Amino acid sequence: MSRVLRPTAFFSCVGGLLLAGCTSSSPAPLDAVTTTDDDGSGSVGVGSDAAGPGGSDDTPGASCNELSAELQGALDAAVEAQRLPGAAAAVNLVGCSWLGAAGVADTEADVAIQPGDLFRAGSITKTFVATLALRLRAEGKLSLDDAVSAYVDGIPQGDRISVRQILNHTSGIFDYTAIDEFWTAALDDPTHTWTPAELIDLAASKPPYFEPGRGFAYSNTNYIIAGLIVEAASGEPIGELLRTRVLEPAGLVHTYLDGAQEALPGLVHGYGRSRGELVEMTSAIDVSAAGAAGALVSTTGDLTSFYRKVLDGTLLGPAELEEMTAWVDAPLGEVTGYGLGLSRRESPLGVQVGHDGGIWGFTSSSYYAVDKDASITVLVNLDGGDVGRIVDDLSNVLITP
């Protein structure tokens, strides 16, 4: 199972289409760089030599201008090469920060994507939920070594599975998104509001992958359970928890958990492909099917800021950050380790930590390169877009002399 909230390939089932089982450009003043392609879709880049978190005055403005133009060119090329509807990206490093966009947010209306547009972030949600759990740990409201049964009833082997094993996917609990019955039910009634209990019951109908703590298996069910754990430990709904413990302290004003918080305007349209054609998938299934495992909506700027503030101690203390980055082996392609809601991957910039995500109509990736103090976020409005490749394309720009 890939690091997304769906099977490996997910296509629309509208109008008889098939559901398959399944994870700008010229150097100019950095205040704004805008070009428009012949088809009107356009690309946009915005940068600054007064970088955000981690920035400094070490890099001259001209160098930042040139770098921003190269990053925008790499994003434009990736959107064209992958035939993506569109993408937005952010890069933040010492002395320079850049926000870029290319392609369209709505293919029918031919509306260009803007750097600050909202995208579904999929499994990046998991880092937010793990951060909530760790902040509650710091408050003394839960222990990572507690049994799940101390917070949530009805979890198979819940008395033998710890909160830590839920957060780092070593619980062995089956992934409900790998069950055909889930997808059949979800597509038969796309407006059905799923409860966490329904999703957990589906997972419980299948045998566990292994005994608790005896392996690693990425499972969206773990984070449906994690959402219930943080609610039980705090006595607050997850939407309120997210607002008071993460969004407000981090200054994230363009992020919300869909279905648990009031939606913000500006969500781009998400798409899939069937028989080579783009298919609208923005709301193909009710977002309750993702919940605490993948219902987050955000922007490239907010996600880039979030991961920096998790890793620089703004949101987590040293003890909690040490727990979050205690890696277990995770054979997930370029991802080689998994902590608590956090992935470790290899890249042209060296080790990066963050998370990938995918949900119907969208794919996402947000990582921080530890040794280079560089953050990269890429959001794509296509189910199954190769965001990892774009992260690496942008990484290569940063290391090119």
Mean pLDDT of 84-90: 98
Residue 91's pLDDT is 97
55 pLDDT higher than 60: no
Mean pLDDT of 280-298: 97
Mean pLDDT of 99-128: 97
In the predicted model, what is the mean pLDDT of the chain? 87
Residue 161's pLDDT is 98
363 pLDDT higher than 70: yes
Per-residue pLDDT of 318-361, as tens digits, reads 999 999 999 999 988 889 999 999 999 989 999 999 999 999 99
* pLDDT more than 90, % of the chain: 79
211 pLDDT higher than 90: yes
150 contacts: CB under 8 Å, gap ≥ 6: none
Mean pLDDT of 48-76: 67
Mean pLDDT of 56-85: 83
* pLDDT more than 70, % of the chain: 84
Q: Looking at domain 14-399, does it have CATH number 3.40.710.10?
A: yes
Mean pLDDT of 56-80: 80
Can you read off the two tokens belonging to residue 236?
């607050």
Residue 331's pLDDT is 83
Mean pLDDT of 111-129: 98
59 pLDDT higher than 60: no
Residue 42's pLDDT is 53
Residue 2's pLDDT is 38
284 pLDDT higher than 70: yes
Rounded to the nearest 10 degrees, the angle between the axes of helix 220-234 and helix 125-138 is 30
Residue 112's pLDDT is 97
Residue 206's pLDDT is 97
For the ranges 23-37, 254-268, 292-306, 330-344, which has the lowest average pLDDT?
23-37
Q: In the structure, what pLDDT confidence band is assigned to residue 11 with cuts at 50, 70 and 90?
A: very low
Mean pLDDT of 272-301: 96
Residue 292's pLDDT is 98
**Residue bearing the bigger pLDDT, 383 or 27:** 383
Residue 45's pLDDT is 65
Whole-model pTM: value is 0.88
Residue 333's pLDDT is 82
245 pLDDT higher than 70: yes
180 pLDDT higher than 50: yes
The whole-angstrom separation of Cα 133 and Cα 158 is 17
364 pLDDT higher than 60: yes
For the ranges 45-54, 95-104, 131-140, 307-316, which has the lowest average pLDDT?
45-54
Residue 244's pLDDT is 97
Per-residue pLDDT of 13-27, as tens digits, reads 222 222 222 333 222
